[in-house]
A and B are shown apart, each in its own frame.
Chain A
Amino acid sequence: MIILEDVSFRYEPEGIDALRGVSLTIHEGEHIALVGPNGCGKTTLIRHLNALLLPASGTVNVDGLDTRDRNHHARIRSLVGMVFQNPDNQIVGMTVEEDVAFGPENLRLPTAEIQRRVAEALARTGIADLAGRNIENLSGGEKRLVAIAGVLAMRPRYIALDEPTAFLDPEAADRIGTLIAKLHAEGVGIIHITHNMAEAALTQRIVVLHEGRIYLDGKPSEVFEKAQALQTIGLRLPPLTALMVRLRESGIAVRCGICNPEEAAEYLIALIRRKGD
């Protein structure tokens, strides 16, 4: 479990308060979408999860390890993997397998164990066929998968992803989305920054950040029920919620928090039939 208690953080010398008293508990195996307008503190928050940033006040505890204690950093960084927004700034190796091996090499594992972990991570991400390929010859989507494989090779309990589908074509974004769902099904906790509300709707829980504070926190259905609050801070609604809001505005009493297209279809059919009767 990752527990953030009253965490505040300020970027110096700019004097920007990025986080202001954030308290949040992330359970093992949970899939959380972190959403919010640009500059609301999402990236700053996930960088606190593996001790890349330390809180100015408050505490972050990862499976019982306080991030303020530097002796815990190596263990914390093995527990919480971090996938950065731009894979070009994360990938260190020249070839796919070399890059995936970077983390285990830092853990000073024996060569045979590193090779085992690299093969396992490449298989889990479905890019075993790219093992010997030069990073420069990969597409943007493939580079994202390499970045995720590099983190998986450390066998983390949680993975924090910073906009993993940004700037990708729909097919590559789907591939990343499927992989994230698969990792979650395998029991890995996922904390996932996104601007895509349809993507956020597929998670178990949405945390909305605004001006460094937690603005909303709940199941997608609960968060989207507060559509107006989301619109107030400039967030776009997922298409289904937008449709329900439109219906509500026209005087039809509907629920806005339905995230699943199947469920929405059945709900609307039932509603229309009731009206027809």
Chain B
Amino acid sequence: MYHAGSYAFGQSFIHRLDPRVKLAAVVGLSVLLLWIAEPLSLFLGAALLVLARLGGIKIKTVAEAVRPLLFFILLIFAVHLLFHESGDAVIRLPYVGIPLSVSGAQKAFFVTWRFVSLLVAALLLTTTTPPSHLIAAVKWFLRPLKKLRLPVDDIAVMLTLALRLLPVLLREKERAEMAQKARGGPSDGVGFTGRLKIFMSLTLSVLLGVFRRADDLAAAMEARNYRRGGRSSFVELSMKSSDEIALLVIFTLTLFLLVINSRFG
């Protein structure tokens, strides 16, 4: 079962990049995306889309990732469109009298664009990087915190477990839902109170399942010699010349955008 955003095997140059380079680039470019002037964010967002295509991400995948957030995206757009304060109102909405302006529409478009671009950046990272490599990169960046006695290895295992168990929990929820329906339980279209009841009983049965599973998983991890503290890693991170070139390109792009951005005041 493939979910939009989960790792998809591929051989593109982005797939082959060191996960540390990808993680640093995505975090850096995301901050830049929020920082730079609106017209430049258009350019950076487009660049991310081109990179996503080069990384083998289909437009369909982006659409699938956007779909669950569509309501939220539309809400962001609507809030900025309706509540942007400016003097250039073109029309007023009938009955409520809220003014709509060109600058409001522009603002709404750019905020939404930035949000979708951030989503593309995240997709670029997660679809081209196996989770173990991503976690190895996170662990590498957290390494200095070991000196502060932060349990970096345990944090990495926690991240792995969270990623691993998310689909298992979703399956458990679907199973509980089906079991309720099979026994004539309430289905959709039962109003707010009915929905709340369904939600409560589902949550309870999923939680019980989770606790049982957590017990078994802890025993299974112990049986395979898991102890808190240091572990070695199956993943070997190594920087190649292509990674150095990618870093140089990203650094140059960042510098270029910052210089142009300063001209926008």
Contact = CB atoms under 8 A, between A and B. Distances in A.
B225 interface: yes
Contacts of B157: 92
B216 A90 contact: yes
Contacts of A4: none
B216 A106 contact: no
Contact of B216 (A77, A84, A93): A84
B145 interface: no
Q: How large is the interface on A (under 10, 10 to 19, 20 to 34, 35 or more residues)?
A: 35 or more
Interface in B1-17: 1-2, 6-7, 9
A81 B220 CA distance: 10
Contacts of A97: 234
A41 interface: no
Q: How large is the interface on B (under 10, 10 to 19, 20 to 34, 35 or more residues)?
A: 20 to 34
A106 B225 contact: yes
B174 to A, nearest CB: 13
B255 interface: no
Contacts of B236: 111
Interface in A88-117: 88-95, 97-98, 101-111, 114-115
B164 A135 contact: yes
B149 interface: no
A97 to B, nearest CB: 7
Residue with the highest number of chain A CB atoms closer than 10 Å, among B167, B225, B236 = B225
A107 B225 contact: yes
Interface in A54-108: 74, 77-78, 81-82, 84, 86, 88-95, 97-98, 101-108
A94 B160 contact: yes
Contact of A78 (B213, B222, B225, B232): B225
B163 to A, nearest CB: 6
Contacts of B131: 94-95, 98
Residue with the highest number of chain B CB atoms closer than 10 Å, among A89, A109, A111 = A89
Nearest to B212: A89
A84 B219 CA distance: 9
B189 to A, nearest CB: 31
A39 interface: no
A134 interface: yes
Contact of A93 (B164, B219, B222, B226): B164
B233 A111 contact: yes
Given A90-B216, A92-B221, A137 B1 contact: yes
B164 A94 contact: yes
B234 A105 contact: yes
A93 B160 contact: yes
B217 interface: yes
Given A89-B213, A109-B232, A95 B225 contact: no
B165 to A, nearest CB: 9
Contacts of A93: 132, 160, 164
Contacts of A81: 223
B231 A105 contact: yes
B227 A106 contact: yes
A136 interface: yes
B234 A106 contact: no
Contacts of B160: 92-94, 98
Contacts of A78: 225
A151 interface: yes
A95 B231 CA distance: 18
Interface string A18-42: 0000000000000000000000000
Contacts of A91: 164
B213 A94 contact: no
A94 B234 contact: no
Nearest to B225: A106
Interface in B123-153: 130-132
Contacts of B235: 111
Interface of B: 1-2, 6-7, 9, 130-132, 157, 160-161, 163-164, 167-168, 213, 216-217, 219-227, 230-236
22 contacts: A77-B222, A77-B224, A81-B223, A82-B220, A84-B219, A90-B220, A93-B160, A95-B132, A98-B132, A102-B221, A102-B224, A104-B234, A106-B227, A106-B231, A107-B225, A111-B232, A111-B233, A111-B234, A111-B235, A132-B130, A136-B167, A151-B224
Interface of A: 47, 50, 52, 74, 77-78, 81-82, 84, 86, 88-95, 97-98, 101-111, 114-115, 118, 132, 134-137, 150-151, 154
Please list the 8 inter-chain residue pairs (A to B) with the smallest Cβ-Cβ separation, ordered nearest first.
Answer: A101-B234, A89-B216, A90-B220, A106-B225, A82-B223, A103-B224, A94-B131, A98-B132
